[in-house]
Amino acid sequence: MPQYTPPLRDMQFLLHEVLGAVDELRLLPPHADIDADTLNAVLEEGGKFAAEVTLPLNLSGDAQGCTLDQVTHAVTAPKGFKEAYARYLEGGWAALSCDPEYGGQGLPLILNQCFYEMLNSANQAWTMYPGLSHGAYEALHAHGTPEQKATYLPKLTSGQWTGTMCLTESHCGTDLGLLRSKALPQADGTYRISGEKIFISAGEHDLAENIIHLVLARLPDAPAGSKGISLFIVPKFRVAADGSIGERNGIFCSALEHKMGIHGSATCQMVLDGAVGTLVGEPNRGLQAMFVMMNAARLGVGNQSLGLTEVAYQNAVAYAKDRLQMRALSGPKAPDKPADPIIVHPDVRKMLLTARAYAEGGRALAMYTALQLDKLVATDDADERKDADDTVALLTPILKAFLTDNGWTATSACMQVFGGHGYIHGSGMEQFVRDSRINMIYEGTNTVQSLDLLGRKVLGDNGAKLKKFGKQIAAFVEEEGTDEAMQEFINPLADLGDKVTKLTTELGMKAFGNADEVGAAAVDYLRVVGHLCFAYFFARMAKVALAKKDSGDPFYTAKLATTRFYFAKLLPETASLIRSARSGLAPLMEMDEALF
């Protein structure tokens, strides 16, 4: 069975030595009294919960999967999932970063980010049940009426109720403007909603007493397309004015999807047959409200692959140190043994270091983004809020796509380290690969994220958001430019920053002539900007590690080695990506459709 040790040292390094999170958080009114000891203590306990409670259920949950009773439409999660969820509630984990007004603990979102990374390492499928509830909570917290907040947020905060988002229909995935579900107004102010939804994660299960579905549907007079979509609260069991649970609502699971991975997560086909719902926000403006949950989910999916990257790396390292096979080309490294451990072989080390670098770079980017979210929701300064909002908007598609692409690469490499034992279920490695491959698709495919980044977040505002983030990088480059020890990191960072500026300008000019040029370059462009982010944060980490490399702590020595590997072996990918992006639309469109 796979093992997992929460990466607390690296998280604390980022929190306290790189990001200076405590000082940043103390400037925000809700976190004025936060301290490092509190953050560390919560992380330690969260790591124990992940490693001791949910990890042991990962392999068995994958093998068992979920079951559907076709008569009652009830879904049963794998053995042990319900009991683990009860312990999750007992520990108060559901309320960690929620608003104290609704029973939350009010702790920083960056803490929640770290906790969920550990949960995803331990058991991604289980983590999807409480994880989606946070998105529903955020959407209602931002757009719900006072009555809706009072009714639903306390139960979502405690975890007594879970939440979902019901968007996708069989004929439309990302293109929600095509959805057909209908909502008919009733005399009492409610709506009767009918339609069918597919791919609904945690749409039905036995972990919580009620499930709060956020459903997109059309009003009778709604305009066509995405401008005619409204958002509704549709609970599994109807909720009375006093918050008590009433009769079963007209929404049920008709089938479970049989997936390549995350088998322990119930992915449901949902039927709404005159289900009673209440409107969230304004009519025909449901996408604006739902985007709160969608963006939270996109950040969450990036975090899922970050978790898988870390746990796959840990297990591959342990195997590589133990597995004896052949001798090093330069001569025996373990002459007292019949063969050398495979970690002596250069390509095995390359695979391991690739996973390690993608985990450490992804963690830095994810934690930095979570810190910006803390500023966004808690600052009293309008300018700071705008800056944080722009940064989060820019980084969200990068986090979703770059981290999940890297997770697929990393888990595949780690399975390769295991050789034949890697594709045997008991090792757990092939499960990490299957789970990570799904993350590249749902919550908006990675191509959609790339189009969002280049088309909307960069070209859509003439590069304003990118320039704002670029100024941070430029300031760091200027500050560290005279430090000779930092040149090996600063020079390639500055060079890539210049190349991104030139590439962005070039693609913008092409897009004026033909918008399809955006589609031709977007995927390559996102990876280039993703590497720019990683290079920036690795350089920041290297600055700290260099200052402490003689401290005797091997952590800093390892951090520098990983950083040098990243700059030498992974960052050069940007050269081919930039060349590919510049090749433009013509090579993709030259062939007539009939010849495919």
Domains and CATH numbers, the chain: 8-65+78-143 (1.10.540.10), 161-284 (2.40.110.20), 449-584 (no CATH)
Q: Is 590 among the catalytic positions?
A: no
pLDDT at 555: 98
Catalytic residue among 443, 479, 484, 517: 443
Q: Identify which of 361, 302, 355, 356 has the alpha carbon closest to the alpha carbon of residue 541.
A: 361
Q: Identify which of 439, 383, 367 has the alpha carbon closest to the alpha carbon of residue 406.
A: 439
**Beta carbons of 411 and 427 less than 8 angstroms apart:** no
Integer angstrom CA distances of residue 279 from 178, 189, 191, 311, 351 = 20, 9, 8, 41, 50
- What gap in Å lies between CA 54 and CA 82, rounded to an integer? 11
- What gap in Å lies between CA 143 and CA 527, rounded to an integer? 33
pLDDT at 313: 98
**Beta carbons of 61 and 125 less than 8 angstroms apart:** yes
**Beta carbons of 509 and 374 less than 8 angstroms apart:** no
Task: Using DSSP, state whether 145 is helix, strand or coil.
Answer: coil
Averaged in consecutive runs of 10 residues, what is the pLDDT profile of the chain (596 residues)? 96 98 97 97 98 98 97 97 98 96 96 97 97 90 94 96 93 80 96 96 97 96 90 96 91 97 98 97 87 84 97 98 95 95 98 98 97 95 95 97 98 98 96 98 94 97 97 97 96 98 97 96 98 98 96 97 98 98 96 94
- Block residue for tokens 């390559």: 524
pLDDT at 173: 73
| DSSP tag of 100 | G
- pLDDT digit string (tens) for 187-208? 999 999 999 999 999 999 999 9
3-state secondary structure 178-226: HCCCEEEECCCCCEEEEEEEEEEECCCCCCCCEEEEEEEEECCCCCCHH
Q: Identify which of 52, 107, 100 has the alpha carbon closest to the alpha carbon of residue 80.
A: 52
Could you tell me the pTM of the whole model? 0.97
